[in-house]
Amino acid sequence: MTGNAVCISGAPPHASLLARLHYSCFDEGERWGEEAFSGLLTTPGTLAWIALVGETPAGLLMLRHSLDEAEILTLGVNAQYRRQNLASSLLDTGYTALRKLGVTTLFLEVSVRNKAAIALYLKQGFTLCGRRKTYYADGSDASVLRYDLTSVTR
């Protein structure tokens, strides 16, 4: 558990920083560039946070919401800072913001091969609600998970 991680909101001027952070969290072929972040950060309904350890950006979360639903666009933590509760802190920050906006359900897609992420989401209280066949470029299926923002108050 990291005692000194702080989650700050991401805004359009953070596109370059978010792209560098994303690069440090994901493997080749899964990384998003600055343009992608610029586009998303100026799209209505998109929310982003950066987890700082001291002054070091160590993780990111990006969500998109519409009416009472939202989806996780990306969540990643730099390998050096994993298993220190950063992803959990980012998600908690996201849940709070979404509840304030009246969002009731949060969805995400994750590769069935991504055991770390699946373990994280199940621990958080997400439940499996579907599967998309050969969803990813490597041919893997995606599990679709949902989180009921009205039933838990964490």
Ligand X SMILES: CC(C)(COP(=O)(O)OP(=O)(O)OC[C@H]1O[C@@H](n2cnc3c(N)ncnc32)[C@H](O)[C@@H]1OP(=O)(O)O)[C@@H](O)C(=O)NCCC(=O)NCCS
> Going residue by residue from 10 to 39, which x/- string records binding to ligand X, judged by CB under 6 A?
---------------xx-------------
Task: Answer yes or no: are the C-beta atoms of 40 and 73 closer than 8 Å.
Answer: yes
- If the CB atoms of residues 15 and 120 are measured against ligand X, the closer one turns out to be 120
What is the rounded CA–CA span in Å between residue 13 and residue 86? 22
What is the rounded CA–CA span in Å between residue 57 and residue 77? 9
What is the residue whose two structure tokens read 């982003």?
A: 48
> Going residue by residue from 43 to 82, which x/- string records binding to ligand X, judged by CB under 6 A?
--------------------------------xxx----x
Nearest to 15 by CA among 46, 53, 45: 46
Footprint (CB under 6 A) of ligand X, residues 71-130: 75-77, 82-88, 108, 110, 114, 116-117, 119-120, 123
Q: Does 41 contact ligand X by CB under 6 A?
A: no
